[in-house]
Amino acid sequence: MTAHSSPHRKLRSSQKGYAGIIAAIIMVLIILYFYSTVAMFSLSRDKDLQDITARSAQLDIDRDAEKVAITNVTIIQGPQTGQLTVTCTLENSGPVPVQLARLWLEDKSLTQNNIGNVPLASIPVTIQPGGRIQQTFPSVAIQGSSPSDTFFLWIITFRGNSLSQITN
């Protein structure tokens, strides 16, 4: 028997190569873990952006679909001097419900301090699609105004549209 060493015996006795291979495998696994984490985070952010973009587009579509006409505007003296009560007919010919946010009234006959407004959140006014309502709004204060003056009436919706009418 010769004292030759077999190749398998040399591989077993020299263990220096295993550490490098194991370290390389662990490093690749760590890099794959970080890459997958960043990729999943990026996909999540992309999905959130798409959701927000879709919601914003739907809000724009709804805003453009609001179609409300103001007719039969009547302005009378309110409970106190300088208080005006506005009554009008509102007709929604659009496909979406419309909720009113604020009423503004400008007295064109006065030169200064001629604008008054009232928020409509306390009395929610919603006009359904195809609906028609007669609405009396809370009194608007404009000092020195008279119901016989010329007025510019505009109503703001919660979607940001402005409905307007000039009345005498």
In the predicted structure, residue 46 carries a pLDDT above the cut 90: yes
Residue 88, domain member (yes or no):
yes
Average pLDDT for residues 56-80, to the nearest whole number?
92
pTM value > 0.85: no
Tell me whether residue 1 is in a domain.
no
Same domain for 39 and 103? no
Predicted local distance difference test score (pLDDT) of residue 118: 93
CATH (domain of 129)? 2.60.40.10
Query: What's the number of domains the chain is made of?
Result: 2
In this structure, the answer to whether residues 88 and 140 fall within a common structural domain is yes
The owner of tokens 């973009």 is: 53
Same domain? 149 vs 73: yes
Same domain? 53 vs 90 = no
Lowest mean pLDDT among 27-41, 105-119, 126-140: 105-119
Would you state the pLDDT for residue 131? 94
Q: Which of 72, 46, 54, 52 is nearest to 135 (CA)?
A: 72
Kindly indicate the confidence band of residue 111, based on its pLDDT and cuts at 50, 70 and 90.
Answer: confident
| 114 and 44 co-located in one domain | no
Which domain does 49 fall in, by range? 7-64
In a domain, 141, yes or no: yes
Is residue 125, in this structure, part of any structural domain at all? yes
Q: How is residue 37 written in tokens? A: 């984490």
Domain end residue (candidates: 24, 46, 64): 64
Q: Is the pLDDT of residue 3 over 90?
A: no
Reported as a pLDDT band with limits 50, 70 and 90, residue 66 is: very high
Rounded-to-integer distance, Cα 81 and Cα 144, Å: 8
> Tokens at residue 156, please?
């703001």
Kindly state whether residue 151 falls inside one of the protein's structural domains: yes
Is the CB of residue 76 less than 8 Å from the CB of residue 87?
yes
One domain, residues 156 and 94: yes
- Please give the Cα distance from 68 to 101 (Å, whole number): 14
- Report residue 158 as tokens: 């919660």
Residue 92, SS3? strand
Do 149 and 85 share a structural domain? Answer: yes
pLDDT of 122 higher than 90: no
